[in-house]
Structure 1
């Protein structure tokens, strides 16, 4: 009886050690990153590299975390024209044409904390679903803005050229650190991360999605052109959002 109890104890201990075997992985990916609540900025391709750690709870469930270095990027390049009536002796109407070219690049260090569920197909492959929060902190990046404002007393857009006697041009260019204290984005970002991976032996490939809960800026024009032309002064608080594809390789700690 004592021998049977000892054997059962050793089997249970070995199973526990097997389940608690820590898995480490390296991964890289790319995808589209953008922001919500804004009508001008479009999603751009970003990239990420990371080191992951997985703590198995049993054959199905595990806890995932790690450290990722990622880039989020969004930009816009467009213009808008507005005709405004200017009371004067001549009763002329002025035409305003405004164009912008802007790109925001943000670099983050990110720590995910997710619960994962593994659905095996056979002994070598299966699907793993994961979900949980993440916390990210902005560490760098540069943003640029180029703008041009053309004012004309003619409603003919052909007059909006340099050298036209009825047209005045103002233009500017600026570049600054994305997370600068003067007008930069907020560094801290907390959100939700979802993913599904196909695993084959020690290799995996998958897709993930993220949505930020904290605003990157609390005073961001919803529509920049309507804001400039004073048609809509509404300010919004956009959040980070993104979808990414990744591949990686997993190995066991101590092996």
Structure 2
């Protein structure tokens, strides 16, 4: 009986060591380029730079051939745009005056993201491997910060505006973009600024794709995430963000 118990304990120890050799941890850090998928304003669909940092976990189902990848990452999503509008008219002292308005908007969502990807590994050379991975992810927002600002200006010069301008804190002087003509002076008619944190719909989900180059234990990953979850409670599930990432990490193989 004692021999049997010792044998079972030995087999469990060997199995534990073998399993440990299949696990690895990869701290990663990089940047992302994010584009909104279906924004109402064309400027919302421009790429914005954000950060990505976290620790990847990998289990080799078949060493050097097939593995499962997961991990915990801090990443961001959001968009920003600046727009200008021209052509409004106000009557000041019996004269029609040109106006223009400016609007700034920015939102930044802070996520903890957990992917689950199937990874296929291809040997390119000694100590050099190509990794191809794909799978779903889920994410939880720690908070969403939004900034909105609108200002409207009135010209007393009665001429059309160009695209360039400069202004002080109280009295404004507008400088046109067409040969730098002076268009007149005036003051800010109205405006507002709103800034704060929200947490409308913290859950997000989507699919991830990744191509990685592993040189010894250094890893360079190029990834793409398609965000499909609802951004707000009244929203519908659809493609919200395209996220391209470039990160660098170092793989620690456990059990060796």
Name the CA distance, whole Å, in 2 between partners of 1:150 and 1:244.
Answer: 40
More strand per residue: 2
Deviation digits for residues 30-82 of structure 1, max 9, x if unmatched?
A: 02112111212232111111111111111311100010011224211221224
Change (3 A) 1:48 1:98: same
1:1-255 equivalent positions in 2, closer than 5 A: 17=18, 21-38=22-39, 39-41=42-44, 42-59=46-63, 60-83=65-88, 97-150=100-153, 156-158=159-161, 169-177=189-197, 179-181=198-200, 186-217=201-232, 239-255=240-256
Q: TM-score, normalised by structure 2?
A: 0.72
Deviation digits for residues 148-194 of structure 1, max 9, x if unmatched?
A: 134679862359985789876111111011x345xxxx211101111
Name the CA distance, whole Å, in 2 between partners of 1:194 and 1:208.
Answer: 6
Deviation digits for residues 102-143 of structure 1, max 9, x if unmatched?
A: 221211000000000101013311100010111011002422
Name the CA distance, whole Å, in 2 between partners of 1:200 and 1:208.
Answer: 17
Matching residue of 2:3: none
Change (3 A) 1:217 1:237: farther
Name the CA distance, whole Å, in 2 between partners of 1:219 and 1:98.
Answer: 29
Change (3 A) 1:140 1:85: closer
Change (3 A) 1:236 1:18: closer
Q: Secondary structure at the match of 1:121?
A: strand
Any stretches of 5+ residues in structure 1 without a counterpart? 1-9, 221-234
Name the CA distance, whole Å, in 2 between partners of 1:111 and 1:165.
Answer: 54
Q: TM-score, normalised by structure 1?
A: 0.72
The count of corresponding residues between Structure 1 and Structure 2 is 220
Q: Is the 8 A contact 2:75 2:111 kept in 1?
A: yes
Change (3 A) 1:171 1:157: farther
